[in-house]
Structure 1
Amino acid sequence: MKQLLVSKAKPLSSYRWLWLMLVVAASGPGAAQQPASALETTIRASKWQKRLLLLCAPGPEDARLTRQRQLLTPVQPGLAARDMLVREVIFSQLAAPDQRYLRERLGVKTTDFVLLLIGKDGGVKRRETAPVPAAQLFSTVDAMPMRQREMRGPR
């Protein structure tokens, strides 16, 4: 039956055939694509589920990163209440796709401390180059329309 349908199909011109083959080749699994960034995957997976707080630093012993950890440690319940997921991003330990994603998509210089607050919609809501007290982060989140709805409770 498949042959019958094919035999009745209108033949493609050589140009259309070439175009179709190029489109199929470019969109197939063997297409040359940049490797997916684990960081990008994390951000996409968190979309509409969690707010991400990315603590980006050149190394794990960066003084600003250490200070930000200290500021966040006592407020874990507040982070959880706001659906905030904290992730440390250490530049010296990142794969090339993650470094490229940080530079090109998030505009982060990989030589300095950067705090990024990413909303549930996937957008960057706050960007800081110094540690931020938890109260200021919570204030930013609590002012977001989605958080306002969350605080009013389920409907």
Structure 2
Amino acid sequence: MKASLLFLMIVLTTTFTALAQDIKSHQWEDRVLIVMTTDSTLTEFKQQLQLFEAKKEGIQERKLLVYLATPEAYKLWNTEGASWVPGGALYQTYKDRDADLEHLLIGLNGEHKHRWTSVVDTLLLFVTIDTMPMRQTELKRKKQNLKKQDG
């Protein structure tokens, strides 16, 4: 009994550590949005994915990776051919609110920037990201590069 409990603790610790490292691997490269739902068949969850689908270019422009997580599985939404990976560690690690739908936005620096517990309009998501200091720097550089090309 003690051996099996110890084994279970080791497996859980390893799984949570691996997922935390996976999210951390995006630090300084991508922003991360984790969309957690109690059930992937919920109307609100499907509505959220439709909103993302309609604004893929804006999501890509902001270097935003979207993870979808349920208590049973997770996947990277905006990656070709990504499929659900069994395991609820991502959900268990980042789920914080008592809601059927929860979003966690993680900035380029790895800090938790914002949480929502309902469907998030992409305009609100983009404004939230666009007001972050590192995004402001990106926008200034982009503007300067456009001026150099025109000038």
Which residue of the partner structure matches residue 61 of structure 1? Answer: 41
Aligned AA (1:102): Y
* 1:1-155 alignment runs, 5 A limit: 34-37=13-16, 38-93=18-73, 95=87, 97-103=89-95, 107-109=96-98, 112-153=100-141
- The structure with the largest alpha-carbon Rg is 1
TM-score, structure 1 normalization:
0.68
Aligned AA (1:95): G
Deviation at 1:62, TM superposition (A): 1.7
Q: CA RMSD in A?
A: 2.2
* Cα distance in 2 between the residues matched to 1:98 and 1:147: 26
Distance 1:100 1:134, change over 3 A: closer
- The question of whether the paired residues in 2 share the 8 Å contact of 1:59 and 1:92 is answered with no
* Cα distance in 1 between the residues matched to 2:91 and 2:120: 23
* Cα distance in 1 between the residues matched to 2:27 and 2:141: 20
Classify the secondary structure of the residue corresponding to 1:130.
coil
Count of aligned positions = 120
* Cα distance in 1 between the residues matched to 2:55 and 2:42: 21
Aligned AA (1:73): E
Task: Tell me the alpha carbon deviations over residues 49-79 of structure 1, each in whole angstroms, 9 at most, x when there is no partner.
Answer: 1001111001221222111101111111111
Deviation at 1:36, TM superposition (A): 3.6
Distance 1:96 1:133, change over 3 A: closer
Classify the secondary structure of the residue corresponding to 1:46.
coil
Percent identity between matched residues is 28
TM-score, structure 2 normalization:
0.70
Classify the secondary structure of the residue corresponding to 1:35.
helix
Higher-strand-fraction structure: 2
Structure 2 residues without counterparts, runs of 5 or longer: 1-9, 74-85, 145-151
